[in-house]
Amino acid sequence: MSDQPTATVHSSAQSSAEPAEPAEREAERLLDIAGLSKSYGTVRANRDISLHVRRGEIVALLGENGAGKSTLVKQIFGLVKPDEGTITIKGDASPVRDPRDAIRRGIGMVHQHFQLVPVMTVAENMILGHETTSRGVLDIEGARKLVRELSAKHGLKVDPDAEIEDLPVGTQQRVEILKALSRRVDLLILDEPTAVLTPQETDELLSVMKELAAGGTSIVFITHKLREVLAAADRVYVLRQGAVVGEVATSDTDARGLATMMVGRDVVLRVDKDEAKPGRDVLSIKDLVVLDDRNLRAVDGFTLDVRAGEIVGVAGVEGNGQRELVEAIAGMRPPQSGSINLLGKDITRANPRDTHVAGVGHIPEDRERHGLVASYSIADNLVLNRFSEKPFANGFVRDFDEVRKNAEALFQEFDIRAAGVGARAGSLSGGNKQKVVVAREMSFGPKLLMAAQPTRGVDVGSIEFIHRRIVAARDEGAAVLLVSAELDEVLSLADRIAVIHGGKVVAEMPGGDVDRTEIGRLMAGDH
Amino acid sequence: MADPRDEPSGADQGVVTTQPTTEATPPPVVPERGAPPPPTGVLGLLVREQSIIVPLVAVVAALLIGALLIRAQGVNPTYAYQTLFTYSFLTADGLQGTFEKMVPLILCGLAVVIPLRVGLFNIGAQGQLMAGAIAAAATAHAVREAPGVIIAVVAMVAGILFGAMWGSIAGALKATRGVHEVISTIMLNSIAAGLIDYLVNGPFKDPSSPYPASYSAPDASRFVPLGVVPIGLPIALVLAVLVAWMLRRTTLGFQFETIGRNRHAASYAGIKLSGMIVLAMAIAGGLAGLAGSVEYLEIDPYRYQDGIAGSLGFDGITIALLARSNPLGTIPAALLVGALRAGSSNLSFNTGLQPEIVDMLLAITLLLVSLPIIAKLIFRRHTAKSSALASSWGS
């Protein structure tokens, strides 16, 4: 491994304009994508993406959530139609009409959420959709044989008679892979295959991938975990905000190089702010352990203090316990052990209601799921967690006048652009939805403002606005805990930075002029 | 409307627009992403008023299909319907019968509406009604020496409490163990039927009755109608208004609605899901239980015996879906269903049709109104995603 990562950060426009390569190299390209773009409304999910995959090669698509990886592979598999650009599969540049067409042309895909029927056996699932019959009766013996053959051929052990719901997730995924392989597959797409796996299952999957590639199958897999890229991929494309920002052979790079590419070197969004004047401790977290949905220790001995009047930014590669940390503080996920204190009050096991009353404002990571009720009016959403408090209710009865007045005031203050306070929250753009959440969580004078990915999927104008408001909240004396996958955001806002890796703080440093490669190294777990 | 793909301007007309689509790119956009323009003209009227139009269409269609079936039996459908509705609405006996049917129908409709708002489908109004009726019978007999008003109040309170308890069993199973409420309420219906069968054959049996039945309500406690209006009717109407007010204006209603619309956001907002689910089912059970008590106090033979519940609890489902889960909508829905039920025997007498023709009409109506597919075919892409609750089971 060389000391200098030789990542080629290229503008994709340039590569798509490249003259045709020699015929022999062209021939070994199984997949060739040129100038692919896709927009959803005003969100540009993919921007002028060009990439290629050779036969027997493992290519990783690396990037944060929302970088456009899934949209990209969905277009290859025919689930989404590109706005512009071409997808050439084995020299055939005709558009991929639908998944059936993709399968016919040798593309297989394993989705992040498995498409298996839980109450049916492995063999039954294997032939689902293209059942073979003998004399009108389902040929289940043939299906069993198929599973055993494929199993032996690819070294993927599966019992054909096991019911899917009884199998561990890792084995279910094997079934998915076998199912894809049961139709002649030249290129296998794996959408975040390790997201649901335990570390051991992940290792097994990576070695299976390598064996498949050695047998001539090309693999494209999506991930945001650097370790997996380095362990399995031959080459990696790094995506950021819908565009390919780098392409590099894994033999020419290391975790640090990849982290740097991933977090980008965009112009830092400058936020004007004065020096922080930190006061007393507001939030104090000690040795916190929180389990994730798979009962693994996502937060594992996390200790951090946040003082009044300062912004502490938690930087880290996504999936290192940030989500579980935030949910634990908000009272949505009871911690396993450790303690959370707010102004001397123990809120370790408080529920979301008590946490809110204690003074925690929480801008949740997933605003569509947690932050808003899409079919409610903006006014109702602005009191979503305060509907029963004065003046919005007198005892049992809600006061709609006060709810509307509150909404009208916040409309002005937070520059929410909508048809009116009665418009449904679901009708707003991403930026305005987020402003509704931000307005609600800031307007009650929180002691602690916890902002998780506060500007994800938000337009630039709203990003700037939300950043200014976060700084304003700090200046009014709130303690701010900022959790963001965007290193730029952490760097431009935080007065103090805590780097999280493997569920614990691996380094703390003052904000301001910090060495971003140093942070990238720490984020990658190199400490 | 300058550009149909413009900014979502139809927001306040109940049209959810996900993302405005791009205008410049020539290739066709993925259909489900598109934000269609708010429809205008006749279609627009249909979309805006669909909560009224869908049930109306269902009822009219059911009557038309029913007409074909009546004709097939050699009876003039116009004459049959005329006979049916003339009796139910224009004769004193018929009107009183219609009103008497309306009372439990409204209450059972409400017992389905409230859980629907929380995202639960209560199939158990039948069992909850029976639980309420037997509790009323037992307590009325226990305090039979008291003044009539006291007996009536005690019987009603007991019916509400016992119905509420019966409903909250399903709620608690859902909240703590994740048992699907459709399954648990269906099973609780059977359990209630079996349990009560035992009670009216054993401990609660009136020895003077030749067939299994509870003691009859003491004379003083029986509801005497005010003209053609049974006492239960104002009670049911007031409760329908109260439930509408509760859902619309109170913090409790807001919590119910929030859970039904976005469970995750409700939990984020500090709403205690399990408590609210149990409470919603308890209120529903209480309303159905009250229906049972009123049946006991108001309807001859004033005792709990086999068949007292009829299919009132199940009719509640029809009512709730006809009402598009609007509490006030249960009133016209119950009026219609009540008229059909009240007029069925007269219809049979005058035309020779089987009274079950009414069950069939109701079944067709239920089928039509509950097939969200129909609404979706007509109103596809114009329907607000989250108002699915109104057209489907809501779970």
How high is the pLDDT of residue A259? 76
Question: How many residues make up chain A in this entry?
Answer: 527
Q: Do B22 and A332 touch (CB under 8 A)?
A: no
Residue with tokens 């500007």: A455
Structure tokens belonging to residue A292: 């994730």
Report the residue from A375, A420, A423 with minimal CB separation from B261: A375
State the Cα–Cα distance between residues B209 and B206, nearest whole angstrom: 6
CB spacing of B258 vs A419 below 8 angstroms: no
Contacts of A158 (CB under 8 A, 6+ apart): A122, A147, A151, A171, A174, A175, A178
8 Å CB contact of A398 and B251: yes
Q: Which of B13, B246, B264, B268 to mutate to test the interface with A (most CBs of A within 10 A)?
A: B268
Choose among A30, A31, A35: nearest CA to A18. A35
Query: For the residues B315-325, what does the mean pLDDT come to?
Result: 91
Residue pair A33/A86 in contact (Cβ under 8 Å)? The answer is yes
Rounded to whole angstroms, the Cα distance separating B274 from B296 reads 33
In 10 A of CB A9, how many CB atoms? 14
The token pair that represents A104 in the structure block: 């016919």
Topology adopted by domain A12-106+184-261: Rossmann fold (3.40.50)
Q: pLDDT per position in chain A (527 positions), as tens? A: 444 444 444 444 444 444 444 444 444 789 999 999 998 877 788 999 999 999 999 999 988 766 788 889 999 999 989 999 999 999 898 999 998 899 999 999 998 778 888 889 999 898 887 777 777 788 888 889 989 988 888 878 888 998 888 888 888 888 988 888 888 899 999 988 887 777 778 888 898 899 899 988 999 999 877 788 899 999 999 988 889 988 999 999 887 788 778 766 544 456 778 888 888 999 999 999 999 887 889 999 999 999 999 999 999 887 889 999 999 999 999 999 999 999 999 999 999 999 999 999 999 998 889 999 999 999 999 999 999 998 999 989 999 999 999 999 999 999 888 888 999 998 888 888 999 999 999 999 999 999 999 988 777 678 888 999 999 999 999 999 999 877 878 988 999 999 999 899 999 999 877 887 788 778 877 66
> How far apart are the C-alpha atoms of A339 and A303, rounded to whole Å?
9
Q: Which of A424, A429, A433 to mutate to test the interface with B (most CBs of B within 10 A)?
A: A424
**Which ranges of A132-198 would DSSP assign to H, the alpha helix?**
140-154, 169-181
Please tell me if residue B82 touches chain A, with a CB cutoff of 8 Å: no
CA–CA gap between residue B253 and residue B255 (Å, rounded): 5
Average pLDDT in the B245-253 region? 96
* Cβ-defined contact of B270 to A385 (cutoff 8 Å): yes
Q: What is the phi/psi pair of residue A400, to 5°?
A: -65, -30
Environment class of A411 (CB within 10 Å of its CB; exposed 0-12, middle 13-18, buried 19+): buried
- Chain A's closest residue to B254, CA to CA, is A387
The residues, ordered by sequence, that sit 6+ positions from B204 with a Cβ below 8 Å of its Cβ are B134, B137, B138, B141, B214, B215, B304
Nearest residue on chain B to A365, alpha-carbon basis: B268
Give the Cα separation of A325 and A341 in Å (integer). Answer: 14
Which of A56-70, B7-21, B321-335 is predicted most confidently?
B321-335
Complete DSSP assignment for B345-395: HHHHHHH---THHHHHHHHHHHHHHH-HHHHHHHHTTTS-GGGHHHHS---
Token representation of residue B194:
């079996």
Counting one residue from chain A and one from chain B, the pairs whose CB atoms sit within 8 A come to 124
A39/B384 touch (CB, cutoff 8 Å), yes or no = no
State the Cα–Cα distance between residues B383 and A303, nearest whole angstrom: 48
State phi, psi for A313 to the nearest 5 degrees.
-100, 130
The DSSP 8-state label assigned to residue A425 in this structure reads: G
Q: Which two structure tokens, joined as six digits, stand for B148?
A: 């009539």
Contacts of B9 in chain A (CB under 8 A): 419
Residues 15-34 of B with CB under 8 A from A: 15-22, 25, 27-28, 30, 33
* Phi and psi angles of residue B378, each rounded to the nearest 5 degrees, phi first: -80, -45
Give the tens place of pLDDT for each residue, A94-153: 999 998 899 999 999 998 778 888 889 999 898 887 777 777 788 888 889 989 988 888
State phi, psi for B286 to the nearest 5 degrees: -65, -40
Q: Does A420 touch chain B (CB under 8 A)?
A: yes
Best of A74, A373, A388 to substitute, by most chain B Cβ atoms within 10 angstroms, is A373
CA–CA min distance B247, chain A (Å)? 10
Largest CA distance in chain A: 81
pLDDT tens digits for A379-406?
A: 999 999 999 998 999 989 999 999 999 9
Whole-Å CA distances, A465 to A96, A155, A461, B113? 41, 54, 6, 43
Whole-number Å distance between alpha carbons of A106 and B136: 70
Kindly report, residue by residue over B261-319, the tens digit of the pLDDT: 999 999 999 999 999 999 999 999 999 999 999 999 998 888 888 777 788 999 999 99
User: What pLDDT does residue B278 have?
Assistant: 97
Tokens, residue A175: 């079934």
* A293 close contact with B: CB closer than 8 A: no
- Determine whether the interchain pair B386/A372 forms a contact, defined as Cβ–Cβ distance below 8 Å: no
B155 band by pLDDT with thresholds 50, 70 and 90: very high
Flag if A388 and B251 touch (Cβ within 8 Å).
Answer: yes
A285, A314, A289: which is closest to A509 by C-alpha? A314
B389 → chain A, closest CA residue: A375
- From chain A residues 307-366, the ones with a CB under 8 A of any chain B CB are 330-332, 351-356, 362, 364
Query: Cβ separation of B249 and A330 shorter than 8 Å?
Result: no
Question: DSSP secondary-structure letter at B32?
Answer: G
State the pLDDT at residue B375.
57
Distance (Å) from the C-alpha of residue B97 to the closest C-alpha of chain A? 37
Residues within 8 A of B (CB atoms), A 390-409 only: 393, 396-398, 400
Which H, E and C letters describe A360-374, residue by residue?
A: EEEECCCHHHHHCCC
Residue (of A491, A446, A487) closest to A469 by Cα position = A446
The pLDDT, as a whole number, for residue B392 is: 34
B238-250 b/e (C-beta count within 10 Å ≥ 16 → b): ebbeebbebbebb
Structural tokens at position A251: 């033999």
**DSSP, res A321:** S
Class for the domain spanning A269-359+449-527: alpha beta
The DSSP result for B186-225, as a single string, is HHHHHHHHHHHHHHHHTTTB-TT-SSSBBPPPPGGGSPPP
Q: In this complex, do B19 and A423 lie within 8 Å of one another by their Cβ atoms?
A: no
**Measuring CA to CA, which residue among A312, A358, A322, A366 is closest to residue A481?**
A312
Average pLDDT of B187-202? 92
Q: d(Cα B298, Cα A418) in Å, to the nearest integer?
A: 54
Nearest CB to B20; choose among A41, A372, A376: A41
Residue A168: the pLDDT is 82
If you average pLDDT over every residue of chain B, what do you get?
Answer: 83
Neighbours of A513 (CB within 10 A): 7
Distance from the B209 Cα atom to the nearest Cα atom in chain A, whole angstroms: 48
Q: Considering only residues 213 to 272 of chain B, which have any Cβ-Cβ distance to chain A shorter than 8 Å?
A: 249-252, 254-255, 258, 261-262, 264-272
Closest-CA residue of chain B to A82: B27
pLDDT of residue B374: 52
Q: How far are the Cα atoms of A189, A349, A397, B89 from residue B96, in angstroms, in the given order? A: 69, 58, 36, 9
Which structure tokens are listed for B159?
Answer: 């019916």
First and final C-alpha spacing in chain B: 36
Residue with tokens 């219809």: B347
Contact yes or no for B386 and A374 at CB 8 A = yes
Angle at A65 between CA A59 and CA A67, to 5 degrees: 65
Contact A397 B249 (CB under 8 A): yes
**Which residues in chain B are closer than 8 Å to A380, comparing Cβ atoms?**
254
Q: Do A398 and B9 touch (CB under 8 A)?
A: no
**pLDDT at residue number B6:** 39
Tell me the chain B residues in contact with residue A331 when contact means C-beta distances shorter than 8 Å.
Answer: 270
Give the dihedral of Cα atoms B248, B251, B253, B255; nearest 10 deg: 130
* CB-CB under 8 Å, B387 with A385: no
The neighbour count for residue A233, using CB atoms within 10 Å, is 26
CA-to-CA distance for A271 and A455, rounded, in angstroms? 14
Give the pLDDT score at A295: 85
Check CB contact of B380 with chain A, cutoff 8 Å.
no
Residue in chain B closest to A330 (alpha carbons) equals: B268
My answer on whether omega of the bond before A510 falls inside 30° of 0, hence cis, is no
Give the distance from residue A393's alpha carbon to the nearest chain B alpha carbon, in angstroms. 7
Let me know: does B181 contact B174? Beta carbons within 8 Å.
yes
The two three-digit tokens of residue B283, written as one number: 């209120």
User: Chain-centre distance of CA B382, in angstroms?
Assistant: 26
**If you ran DSSP here, which 8-state letter would residue A270 be given?**
-
Strand partners, A496: A312, A510
Confidence check on the interface: ipTM exceeds 0.90, yes or no: no
Which of A353, A355, A370 faces B264 most closely, judged by CB atoms? A370
The interface residues of chain A toward chain B in range 467-496, judged by CB-CB distance below 8 A, are none
Which H helix or E strand runs over A404? helix A400-414
Contact B254 A420 (CB under 8 A): no
Hey, which residues does A286 pair with through a beta bridge?
A: A339
What pLDDT shows up at residue B381?
Answer: 44
Contacts of A384 in chain B (CB under 8 A): 258, 265, 268-269
CA A166 to chain CA centroid, Å, is: 28
Chain B positions touching A81 (Cβ under 8 A) are: 27-28, 30
Gap from B48 CA to chain A (nearest CA, Å): 15
Residue of A330, A353, A370 with shortest CB distance to B265: A370
Of A81, A398, A426, Cβ closest to residue B254:
A398
Among residues A498, A485, A424, A516, the alpha carbon closest in space to that of A65 is found at A485
- Tallying the residues shown for chain B, one arrives at 395
Q: In chain A, what residues touch B269 (CB-CB under 8 Å)?
A: 352, 384-385, 387
